[in-house]
Amino acid sequence: MTVQTTKKIWTDEELLAMPRDGVKREIVRGELLMSPASFDHGNIISRLMTAMGRVVFEKQLGELADGQTGFRLKSEDVFSPDISFVVTARVAEHRRRGSTFFEGSPDLMVEVLSPSDTIDVMEEKLAQLFSEGMRLAWVVHPRRRSVHVYHSLTESRVLTGEDVLDGENVIPGFKMELSRIFV
């Protein structure tokens, strides 16, 4: 006798109905993944988002979103990067469509790694997001006090020490010393 099991397919409504309890939720390969964040994790996100917002909003470059914002990919996965930036024209398209989650990748994503994050899962996420048009990713390693800057899975560099994080052509004019991220 063969027993077939089926995976639960999560709807947008079910995902949005989850409690707002500080736990990050994403759908990956049909499974609901959840992870709470530490104080330092949230502090790094706050510092980066505040600094990014000064440039993004002053120059009217687009919109920033926090880690509760879902980006639905062609695979049907829904990712919620810790910080996302989307250029103005793409935000306008999203609003015209009226969809619940943003369809596609952000232009820039920031992920602050937690101790439970794995390289395999992060690389899978990056691969999907870059395949759907993401242009830049910053993966922050709090324990190493470094930021891995990705332009693709094969083009990246690591910033440490007194290096400066740069928004390049995605958020032109944004620059932040790593020493201001890791306090």
Q: Give pLDDT, residue 2.
A: 45
Q: How big, in percent rounded to 5, are the helix, strand and coil portions of the chain? A: 30, 30, 40
DSSP 11: P
Range of the domain at 133: 37-181
Cross-strand bridge partners of residue 34: 25
Give the DSSP H/E element, type plus range, for residue 119. helix 119-131
18 assigned to some structural domain: no
28 assigned to some structural domain: no
3 assigned to some structural domain: no
Question: For residue 88, what is the domain's CATH number?
Answer: 3.90.1570.10
41 assigned to some structural domain: yes
pTM over 0.85: no
Query: Structurally, how many domains does the chain consist of?
Result: 1
Q: What is the largest CA-CA distance in the chain?
A: 64
130 φ/ψ sector (left φ>0, alpha ψ -120 to 50, else beta): alpha
Which structure tokens are listed for 132? Answer: 């759907």
Q: Does the pLDDT of residue 28 top 90, yes or no?
A: no
What is the mean pLDDT of the segment spanning 120-133? 92
